[in-house]
A = this chain, B = another copy of it.
Amino acid sequence: MNIQTAESIDISEYTNGFGVRARAASRILASADTGAKNAALSAIAARFEEQSDVIIAANRRDLDASRLNKLSPALIDRLELTTSRIVAMADGLRQIVALPDPVGEISELRTRPSGIRVGRMRVPIGVVAIVYESRPNVTADAAALCLKSGNAVILRGGSEAIHSNLAIAECISDGLRHAGLPIDAVQIIDNTDRAIVGALVKMSRYVDVIVPRGGKGLIERISAEAEVPVIKHLDGICHVYIDSDADRDKAIRVAENSKTRRYGICGAMETLLVARDVADDVLPELARRYRAAGVELRGCQATREIIADALAATEEDWRTEYLAPILSIRVVDGLDDAIEHIETYGSAHTDSIVTENLTRANRFITCVDSSSVMVNASTQFADGFEYGLGAEIGISTNKLHVRGPVGLEGLTTQKYVVYGDGTIRA
């Protein structure tokens, strides 16, 4: 567990080395059978539990350094590994074992007039690089998702978690070795120099896709620099629109849950839109509930006429992802006005309409261009587990390739397979 220092190495040669090894491993992994991949995952899970003390000791070094460096208590909490968190990490891997292997499925195989049979085969992307911050459980989680989907992965965690990540990596290597898979299938960059991320995101010869996981700053920096495609997750400025034909109880339930269940997740509602016709009916009760939960309300003029203690919302509020117990509320004329607000200020993440009107529900679904559009459901459902993906590597706000929660399928692509019998083209 020697941690390299930047001075001692040539950054691009060093980073390339990870790429070359990952590419070689990806070729073996692409044709590894499901049994071997699952055996590796199970062995890694067992190893986590056996090595729990070693991992906790390494984690303590990171925690001590973080306290010295005066990291925020929230960050330190996310960094900390306990026995129960390690068991949860192992259980997460066992859940991925239980998921179907997406690789190798051939779909839409059809015979063409020429006599060839043409279908599409699901295959790994190849080499995935994941750049993340803080939480060491991402190391286990991301490695497992990439392994199950047949991809080699290069992991670059935060410097604050380096000892924890390397201890976890040791267990992963053991598990891969145990299953006869190449240990380069999962590589952790054992150097905390930030220049390495810069080199990694430009390495299009060896890396097929980058998945940044972390704060907006990290994701924006990587997107700006990357020459490799990025599966990115930017803001979640989510809206609930309460239509004039909404069922009152459903509206209150959905609007309350969308905000108050959890504040810090990307699927949390940040702006509530209410049709003018029903604002008087629903806003007082909602204000009571938000107040009880400790949510600060910021409203448009019409909102403040109904909720006297709401602060005045500014233009900036409509564009803000609070991730906190703050909610902006706007009274709108109706569906078209709501759609226009969402188009103007939204982040195309998750938006929900509450209505009993079928035509308006369909119009909302068609016209709102977000990764998830919902009818009569809480925006807090925007999550891979809730959608049945079984696991999640992130939520994509890209339009191409994957959109919304990304599971194993999002880590694969499809190629065409063509079967002939000595068939030639006329």
Kindly specify which of A48-56, A191-199, A398-406 makes contact with the partner chain. Answer: A398-406
A418 contacts the other chain (CB 8 A): yes
B27 and A425 contacting across the interface, CB-CB below 8 Å: no
A369 and B30 contacting across the interface, CB-CB below 8 Å: yes
Selected contact of A413 from candidates B209, B388, B400, B421, CB within 8 Å: B400
Interface string of A130-144 (1 = CB under 8 A from B): 000000000000000
Number of interface residues of A (CB under 8 A): 69
A399 and B367 contacting across the interface, CB-CB below 8 Å: no
For the complex, give the distance between the alpha carbons of A343 and B380 in Å.
Answer: 45
Selected contact of A422 from candidates B31, B123, B254, B261, CB within 8 Å: B254
Selected contact of A366 from candidates B30, B253, B366, CB within 8 Å: B30
CB neighbours of A118 from chain B (8 A)? 386-388
Q: Smallest Cβ distance from A412 to chain B, in angstroms?
A: 10
Kindly specify which of A8-16, A109-117, A177-185, A315-323 makes contact with the partner chain. Answer: A109-117
Q: Smallest Cβ distance from A223 to chain B, in angstroms?
A: 9
Query: What is the interface of chain A mostly: helix, strand, loop, or mixed?
Result: mixed
A399 and B125 contacting across the interface, CB-CB below 8 Å: yes
A417 contacts the other chain (CB 8 A): yes
B418 and A381 contacting across the interface, CB-CB below 8 Å: yes
Selected contact of A367 from candidates B27, B229, B423, CB within 8 Å: B27
A34 contacts the other chain (CB 8 A): no
B416 and A373 contacting across the interface, CB-CB below 8 Å: yes
Q: Smallest Cβ distance from A151 to chain B, in angstroms?
A: 11
Q: Smallest Cβ distance from A98 to chain B, in angstroms?
A: 16
CB neighbours of A405 from chain B (8 A)? 416
Known: A376-B419, A387-B416. 8 other contacts (CB 8 A): A229-B229, A253-B422, A253-B424, A354-B422, A371-B415, A374-B420, A377-B419, A382-B416
What are 14 A-B residue pairs whose CB atoms fall within 8 Å in the complex?
A: A27-B343, A110-B388, A114-B381, A116-B381, A118-B386, A208-B399, A247-B422, A250-B422, A261-B425, A375-B419, A376-B419, A376-B421, A378-B420, A380-B424
